[in-house]
Structure 1
Amino acid sequence: MHHDPAILQGLPQLVGVQLVEVLDFYDGPLDGLALYREREYWFSAVPEWIRDAEPSEPRPLVLHEITAQQAAQVRAESRQFDVFANGDGNEDDWQQAWDTRSTYDEAPAVGWFLEAATSVE
């Protein structure tokens, strides 16, 4: 699930956000973990960008508060998807893991940022 573009109204634009884990990607990151002020957050794309923007345009992403335990769950799921990407596991297992993966689009939004060129590996 991704956001209604109206979510950006009233939220501050944040600077200095770094992408940590990208779980969904289409011509750029759609959701995953980000680091801001030494804390991990969930990020998610705004659908307006998905529909109307060119791939070369900056992508607005919304940052959501999550717990350290939720961030650890996302990292564990990301490692599992890496296993699938390497050809280990079957397609049904991958589909079930994808369909049940953690997302936190409904968690409180703290701000938004434009996709950064740098990411943490």
Structure 2
Amino acid sequence: MTPGPVDYRARYMDDCWTHEASVLTGRPQLDGVRMLWCQEFYDGPLDGLAEWRGGEHWYVAVGPVWAERPRRYALHQLTPAQAAAAWQRHHLLDGYQRAAQAGADVAEQWDRAWAERPDHRGAPILGWFTD
């Protein structure tokens, strides 16, 4: 028996950490947010580190990842230690990517680092912005 087609989009979406639109209720729209880099990407950034009012915070896409643009993001407050750890993980994953492009077998290290990434969606939400 031949297996049916794999729904890669649904499979990928299960691994994406986004927010339901309801998290924005009563939250202010923020101006001046600058995305520094993204961790997850699907037709645009889904989450990553941003700068706002002199601090580094975590942003997370709101709604389905295939939603129309502009995409809305919730901005989560991070402690300086959490922001430093995010930078460290970002450089680690970037290093694995460069090593893989050079022919090194780093799939296991990448998978472990990716699986151990923290979920910042539970951190306090400062407000929201669009890209």
Q: Which TM-score applies when normalising by structure 2?
A: 0.79
Distance 1:4 1:90, change over 3 A: same
Percent pairwise identity: 39
Name stretches of at least 5 consecutive residues in structure 2 with no aligned partner.
1-16
How many correspondences in the alignment? 111
Q: SS state of the match for residue 102, structure 1?
A: coil
1:81-92 equivalent positions in 2, closer than 5 A: 81-86=93-98, 87=100, 88=104, 90-92=106-108
Runs of 4+ in 1 over 4 A off after TM superposition: none
Structure-2 separation of matches of 1:3 and 1:38: 25
> Which structure's relative contact order is higher, taking Cα pairs within 8 Å and 6+ residues apart?
1
Alignment partner, residue 65 of structure 1: 77
Aligned residue identity for 1:24: E
Work out which of the two has the higher radius of gyration on C-alpha atoms and give 1 or 2.
Answer: 2
1:33-72 equivalent positions in 2, closer than 5 A: 33-48=49-64, 50-51=65-66, 53-54=67-68, 57-72=69-84
Name stretches of at least 5 consecutive residues in structure 1 with no aligned partner.
116-121
Q: Give 1:81 shift.
A: 0.9
Alignment equivalent of 1:6, drawn from 5, 13, 22: 22
Q: Is the 8 A contact 1:44 1:61 kept in 2?
A: yes
Structure-2 separation of matches of 1:41 and 1:4: 19
Q: Which TM-score applies when normalising by structure 1?
A: 0.86
Q: Pairwise CA RMSD of aligned residues?
A: 1.3
Q: Give 1:102 shift.
A: 2.1
Flag the structure with higher helix content: 2
Q: Is the 8 A contact 1:43 1:64 kept in 2?
A: yes
Alignment partner, residue 98 of structure 1: 114
